[in-house]
Amino acid sequence: MENMTFEEKLARLEKIVAMIDSNTLGLEESMKLYEEGISLIKELEGVLEEANKKFNNVLNSDDLIKEVENK
């Protein structure tokens, strides 16, 4: 899963949810998919948190504030 893009991970998570919701899987397979889904959620949350930090850094930069004030 490490080499997957954010979008690929999100698509995989959506597929896992659909498979579990289908009620056609056995308990073992459902548990494996559930664990994979939790792992994906944690990875996706990490990516989003990092992106949010970067976004906030850009918004809070002194250069950006000065540039906006000078316009």
Give SS3 for 38: helix
Structure pTM? 0.77
pLDDT (tens digit, 0 to 9) for every residue of the chain, 71 residues total?
A: 678 999 999 999 999 999 999 999 999 999 999 999 999 999 999 999 999 998 888 777 766 666 667 76
Output the pLDDT for position 64. Answer: 63
At residue 68, the pLDDT reads 67
Q: Where are the domains of the chain?
A: 6-69
**Beta-sheet strands, E only, within the chain:** none
Q: What share of the chain is helix, strand, coil (3-state, %, to 5)?
A: 80, 0, 20
Distance from C-alpha of 21 to C-alpha of 31, rounded to nearest angstrom: 12
The predicted structure's pLDDT at residue 71: 65
- Domain 6-69 belongs in CATH node 3.30.1490: no
22 near 32, Cβ under 8 Å?
no
> What CA–CA distance (Å, rounded) separates 54 from 60?
10
